[in-house]
Amino acid sequence: MNLRRLFLCPLVFALTSLATFSFAQTAPPIPDGKPHTFVVQGSQFLLDGKPFRIISGEMHYPRIPREYWRARLKMARAMGLNAITTYVFWNEHEPTPGVYDFSGNNDVAEFIREAQQEGLWVILRPGPYVCAEWDFGGLPAWLLKDPTTSVRSTDPKFMQPATRWLVRLGRELAPLQTGNGGPILLVQVENEYGGFGNDHVYMEQIKQAIVNAGFTKAQLYTADSAGSVPRGSLPELPVGINFGGSPGEAQREFAALKRLRPDNPMFNSEFWDGWFDHWGDRHAHTNGAAQAANLAWMLEQGASVSIYMFHGGTSFGWMNGANSDDRRKDYQPDVSSYDYDAALDESGRPTPKFFAFRDAIAKATGITPPPVPEVVAPIAIAPFRLTEAVSLWDSLPKPIESDHPLTMEEVGQNYGWILYRTQISGSSPSGSLTIHDYARIYLAQNADSGAVVDRRVNGAIAIESFVHGPADTTTPFEVLVENTGRINYSHQLLHERKGIVDYTPPQTSAPTKWQMYPLPMNNVESMHFKKAVCTGPCFYRGHFRVTKPADTFLDTSKLGKGQLWVNGHAMGRFWKIGPQKTLYIPGPWLKKGQNEVIIFDVDGTPSPQLEGLTKPNLGD
């Protein structure tokens, strides 16, 4: 998703010139398992030779529990949509080079089949880069192990694994194209590349990789903001344009597209109906009335549109991304909730925006949508304490040793935390560390120095500030670092290695040795918990009982900073700075009877307390 509205253009032609054809007010065709043709002819999309308007909404399969996919798709139909749009997240499917996962929540083919079964066409966005406020824009972290790799370029160190990935994805999804009897109408080439580069050779290579992967029986296209179309598009493919819902924005953006591509279909490939949240900022609220007016205007003109997001969901686990500006080179990590102020909220419940959009679609199409499905009410969970604990310091793995600090990617770690240990001398007159992204500094015997490195504010520390004692003494020096999410937009994603990313050694004659303890935290259930008092960086475990499983929202307002798991599912992050103060717990991931909660809190206090609320607290 484009994070900036880069190009606004005056309205220089009559609005009536935009609409070149009309649609009959009858129910549009739905995917029926038979082969269909979907092409662009002039300024029209044609399905089996007849004009066809796409009214889509974006949902991302890994952000929705698999058990809820069908319920969300039914909601899409109930709002009047005839299609859904989804990215494909490379880093979810290839966690290590050549090892693929299309199981469980990663079964994107099943997600698309269920869309077809619910009468919805599909717009597929395979990337390989997707942005989406998702860690590293969906690119695998292991691409960064070699710091010379240039992603989103013709660099063979990027193109070879990207091509291999697209071919593997084609085995899953090419059979589901419209020409094969599936629901996939459109397949996007790359994603908003004009906001990143201007290399048409690279874009042609990505297009060819998608074709070679078997995507030849659906219509290919590119997507950018209108001002970036010349840089990110290909002359032989139609373009979609991405923009938001401020008053008059649709008119201005389509005016710009008309000047650039007079014969291009009116296609708003991302209509931003909300926004996302950063840690330490306010929760996003957007102008629903203006968005509904923009949507109504586009539909009146016969435009095709994909609402971003129809349903945002949750960036479970460690998968939230981060924003950055090329000019400021700042760092703004996203929260775990991807509620997005969308038509469906984070837990899949319709909002006032849902009904405003539903009315606009019904009025423009003359078609009464299906009834809105009922949703089971969330449940409250009485306060409970996590009375079992184990200290991080008692849970460290075998270290990796080096004469200089290694990044997470260099030790083969994608997500989580990493601990660095070394000795600093009392005679050290200088030395510095640059850290991505958040760190706590500990000195002798794991004593918290009180020093915090927060990349949002300060990304470097001077080692000499921790020197205490005579010149002939040394002090244990520990740096506990969290990867709080890789940048997913702008050129800053090229530099997104995590941990200690730059090191200037102290000016001493003796070389400094380092130990690295990778802490991916992907097996916390097997830790040795016991009834114990634990403070500082600690893991805690507790239990609660449920009579009838349903959604709930665990209140994290009394916690510090860390991660939370329920019954083995990594739910997301918490941080006392907000705005998010609850974590969404899907009902299908709970059990009747006893349920287990584990948290890691770098600011842990004994026996932390949680409770389940019936409403989220996202910082409203």
Among 463, 467, 364, residue whose Cα is nearest residue 425: 467
How far is it, in rounded angstroms, from Cα 585 to Cα 347? 9
- In 261-366, alpha helices (H): 288-300, 352-365
User: Cα–Cα distances in Å, from 525 out to 112, 125, 540, 565?
Assistant: 32, 35, 11, 9
For CA atoms 36, 41, 44, 49, the dihedral sign is: negative
User: Cα–Cα distances in Å, from 399 out to 59, 421, 484, 516?
Assistant: 40, 9, 22, 5
Could you tell me where the beta strands, DSSP code E, fall in 230-326? 239-244, 267-272, 304-308, 322-323
Element (H, E) at 47: strand 44-47
Q: Is the distance from CB of 314 to CB of 346 less than 8 angstroms? A: yes
Q: Is the distance from CB of 314 to CB of 324 less than 8 angstroms? A: no
Name the residues annotated as catalytic: 192, 270
Among 295, 383, 374, 398, residue whose Cα is nearest residue 550: 374
How far is it, in rounded angstroms, from Cα 251 to Cα 18? 10
- In 288-408, alpha helices (H): 288-300, 352-365
- In 80-213, alpha helices (H): 90-93, 108-117, 156-173, 200-212
**Residue 392: how many CA atoms within 13 Å on its side-chain side?**
25
